[in-house]
Amino acid sequence: MTNYWQNVLGQDPSKFLTFVSLLISSPILIPFDANGRAGNTSTSSLLTNSSTAPFPPPLSCYPGLSQSQFQLISTLETSVFGLSPPTTQANFDDSCFPDRPIYGTLNILHLRLPFQDSQSGPKQAAILSRDASSRVVVYNGEVLSGLPTSNTSAIPTTDPRQFGTLGHINHVLLDFFQAIPDINVSTQLVNYVLSSPVTPPSNDSPLGKSLSTIPTLEVAVFGSVTPPDVTGVVSSFSTPSGGLFFGNDQSLAVRDWAIVAAQKGVTWTELANSPVIVNDRSFTDDAFNAVWDPAFLFFHSTSNATVTVGNITAGFAAVNKFTST
pLDDT: which is higher, 115 or 306: 115
Domain boundaries defined on the chain: 2-27+59-110+130-221
**What pLDDT score was predicted for residue 102?**
98
Over 80: is that where the pLDDT of 56 sits?
yes
**What pLDDT score was predicted for residue 119?**
84
If you average pLDDT over residues 274-286, what whole number do you get?
A: 98
Residue ranges of E strands in the chain: 28-32, 37-38, 41-42, 102-106, 124-128, 136-140, 164-165, 217-221, 230-236, 266-269, 277-280, 322-323
**What pLDDT score was predicted for residue 175?**
97
Over 80: is that where the pLDDT of 35 sits?
yes
**What pLDDT score was predicted for residue 153?**
72
Q: How does pLDDT run across 245-274, given as a tens digit for each residue?
A: 999 999 999 999 999 999 999 999 999 999
**What pLDDT score was predicted for residue 321?**
98
**What pLDDT score was predicted for residue 304?**
79
Q: How does pLDDT run across 155-209, given as a tens digit for each residue?
A: 888 999 999 999 999 999 999 999 999 999 999 999 999 999 999 999 999 999 9
Cross-strand bridge partners of residue 128: 28, 230
**What pLDDT score was predicted for residue 120?**
81
- Exposure pattern of 110-126 as b/e (b: 16+ CB <10 Å)? bbbbbbbbebebbbbbb
Q: How does pLDDT run across 3-33, given as a tens digit for each residue?
A: 999 999 999 999 999 999 999 999 999 999 9
Q: What is the pTM of this model?
A: 0.96
If you average pLDDT over residues 144-164, what whole number do you get?
A: 87
**What pLDDT score was predicted for residue 148?**
86
Over 90: is that where the pLDDT of 290 sits?
yes
* Separation of CA 188 from chain center: 23
Over 80: is that where the pLDDT of 242 sits?
yes
Q: Percentage of the chain with pLDDT > 90? A: 91
Q: Percentage of the chain with pLDDT > 70? A: 100
If you average pLDDT over residues 67-77, what whole number do you get?
A: 94
If you average pLDDT over residues 298-303, what whole number do you get?
A: 88
The DSSP output letter for 283 is T
The greatest distance separating any two alpha carbons of the chain, rounded to the nearest whole angstrom, comes to 65
The C-alpha atoms of residue 148 and residue 160 are separated, in whole angstroms, by: 23
What is the rounded average pLDDT for all residues in the chain?
95
